[in-house]
């Protein structure tokens, strides 16, 4: 069965190092909380807010060994007053978990997006 798994994290500045570190933190948390490995990931869709331009989040995943996962990066629509410097991901994952068992991850400032699902 394929399930959607969501994650989001903010960065303090738009630098390649910050984008890579934050994206890897988010993906590692998603893997840890949901018990899947890179080979279980069907595909990944990353989005970034318009103020993030220095690095592709997908590169972060490839640096973690996700070399065979189809991925794409896109820009979030620029909604006024939206959360700045935010990286989001929608993973499609092969899993036996029910929808209710999936743990979505909202880290750092992204906890404001979904306080009901915020992670430490």
Catalytically active residues are 6, 62, 73, 76, 88, 106, 114
Chain centroid to CA 112: how far? 15
- Do residues 42 and 92 lie in contact, with contact meaning Cβ atoms separated by under 8 Å? yes
Nearest to 26 by CA among 11, 40, 43: 11
């Amino acid at each position: 069965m394929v399930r959607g798994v969501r994650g989001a994290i903010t960065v303090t500045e738009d630098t390649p190092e910050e984008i890579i570190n934050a994206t890897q933190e988010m993906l590692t948390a998603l893997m840890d909380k949901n018990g899947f490995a890179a080979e279980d990931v069907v595909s990944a869709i990353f989005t970034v807010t318009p103020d993030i331009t220095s690095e592709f989040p997908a590169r972060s995943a490839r640096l973690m060994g996700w070399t065979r996962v189809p991925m794409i990066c896109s820009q979030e629509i620029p909604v006024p007053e939206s959360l700045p410097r935010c990286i989001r991901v929608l993973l499609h994952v092969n899993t036996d978990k029910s929808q209710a068992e999936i743990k979505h991850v909202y880290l750092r400032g992204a906890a404001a997006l979904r306080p009901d699902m915020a992670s430490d």
